[in-house]
Chain A
Amino acid sequence: MSDIGIKLIYWDRVLEAGFWILLTLFFYYLALRIQQALGGTPLANPVLLASAPIIALLVAADIWVGDYMGGGQALIWLLGPATVGLAVPLYRNFACVRSALVPMAVSLAVGSAVAVLSAVLIGDAMGASLETVRSLAPKSVTTPIAMGIAEEIGGYASLTAAFVIITGIIGAAFGSMFFNLCRIGDARARGFAMGIAAHGIGTARAFQEDEVSGTFSGAAMALNGIVTALVLPLLWLAFAG
């Protein structure tokens, strides 16, 4: 109970968090090298390639995921400042964004509705439980908003967090291929659709494609988050409540 004892516990935690951050950095570096070796294919999604071996390691060593989050939480916090950086490409492509306000508004309305409705209808038709369906509804929105919406409409916030990440990885991994297949070639449309369907992980991928795509993806992610947070709980109460 001495001062020294308290200090030891403190440094212990810092060291442990630092260890998990370094480990994450190592696997991220490895994931980037693998993606590079495979010709930069989006199928080799860095989030998936890096988190899978970390999960395997935690399971193999019987370590609670909460211990890892001691370091992981610091990285999740840094996501905020990193995302704020979107203001820079937004400013640089301001003219391009401003000239596309009408397509953006229409795409936002259609895309956010389809993202919610299709998830709910398919999940329900396949026989998922009511809680699962409710947790599926906000899956295309960035994590903090999605968790808030899930709670409001009676889903599990934590389950939604998992859905959001899986959705992001699906969009980022298959989006480019899918857009080519559907003859969606406009870089602005590709980016905007990616941001609506697959939020930040999709946006990370869009920036790998080109800056215009990334900018529109970032804008779509922010707009879809706001619109879904405002509209979804109201509609849910009106129709399902």
Chain B
Amino acid sequence: MRAFSRLALAFLALVACDTAGRVIVRGLSLPVPGTVIGILILLAAIVALRRVPEPLKETAEFLLAHLNFFYIPAGVGVMAYAALLADDLWPILVALFASTFLAMLAAGLAFQWTSRLTQGKDGGA
């Protein structure tokens, strides 16, 4: 029971950071999503603590391992735009597939080459 309440507390900490991020972004009308600010807030808190509390580590790792779950409603939402997608179906499919591969290729090679140039090794961490 105590373990559960500590996990619940860790989850509330995540919610608090996210909410604080959203409030800050809205208040200052920053062009970034609140969640990104939320990540920075939590990171600052962990740096100040100098360690990751065990329940927070467990909760965060569990949620990240199941990040896909939270994207399912967005996947279902695609259905609502089926008619719009059908208008330009082939250009859309070709553009999305080709562009995703090209972006992965460009970003991956740029990273790998620069890493070899600046660090003189493969990295391969």
> 23 A-B residue contacts at CB 8 Å?
A25-B69, A51-B76, A52-B75, A75-B72, A79-B67, A80-B34, A82-B14, A88-B56, A90-B43, A100-B123, A111-B107, A115-B107, A122-B91, A128-B88, A129-B88, A161-B74, A163-B96, A178-B105, A188-B123, A193-B105, A196-B104, A222-B36, A225-B36
Number of A residues whose C-beta is below 8 Å from B?
118
Instruction: Tell me, in angstroms, the Cα distance from A202 to B91 when the chains sit together.
Output: 23
Q: How many A-B residue pairs have CB under 8 A?
A: 347
Residues of A contacting B115 in the complex (Cβ-Cβ under 8 angstroms): 100, 102-103, 186, 188-189
Instruction: Please tell me which one of the listed residues A27, A123, A197 contacts residue B103 in the complex, with CB atoms under 8 A apart.
Output: A197
Q: Is the CB of B104 within 8 A of A201?
A: no
**Which chain B residues border A73 with CB–CB below 8 Å?**
73
Among A114, A123, A188, A200, which residue has its beta carbon within 8 angstroms of that of B102?
A: A114
Whether B11 pairs with A81 at a CB distance below 8 angstroms is: yes
| Contacts A59-B79, A91-B43, A170-B100 known; 11 new A-B pairs at CB < 8 A | A50-B68, A75-B73, A76-B73, A80-B15, A87-B17, A88-B56, A91-B52, A118-B95, A165-B78, A186-B115, A197-B103
CA A106 – CA B75 in complex, angstroms?
Answer: 31
Residues of B within 8 A of A (CB): 11, 14-15, 17-18, 21-22, 31-36, 38-40, 42-43, 46-47, 52, 56-57, 59-61, 63-81, 84-85, 87-88, 90-92, 94-112, 114-115, 118-119, 122-125
Is there contact, CB below 8 Å, between A162 and B81? yes
User: Is there contact, CB below 8 Å, between B14 and A158?
Assistant: no
Whether the Cβ atoms of B80 and A65 lie closer than 8 Å is yes
Name the prevailing secondary structure of the B interface residues: helix
Given contacts A82-B63, A84-B35, A92-B52, contact A123 B95 (CB under 8 A): yes
Shortest CB–CB separation between residue A9 and chain B, in angstroms? 23
Are B123 and A201 interface neighbours, CB within 8 A? no
